[in-house]
Amino acid sequence: MPRRIGRFLKEVRLEMKRVTWPNRREVSGATWVVIVTVVTIALFIWIIDTLLMQSLHLVLK
């Protein structure tokens, strides 16, 4: 069992060396895309929620 764990960890280390890591510019660009997307979706949900709340308020009045 310890031999299998050691082999697994060695393979993990080798695989991590093969990974192509993004540079700072790529990470920054992806981060901004995520932020803009989250804000856009949040605004959309807020608008829909407000419209539905107003509609329900009018119906129940």
- Is the pLDDT confidence value at 10 over 90? yes
Choose among 12, 14, 30, 34: nearest CA to 22. 30
**Average pLDDT of the segment spanning 20-25:** 96
Long-range contacts made by residues 7-12, C-beta under 8 angstroms, separation at least 24?
A: none
Q: What is the pLDDT of residue 1?
A: 80
26-53 pLDDT, tens digit per residue, is 999 999 999 999 999 999 999 999 999 9
The pTM of this model reads: 0.68
List the chain domain ranges: 24-61
Q: What is the pLDDT of residue 61?
A: 83
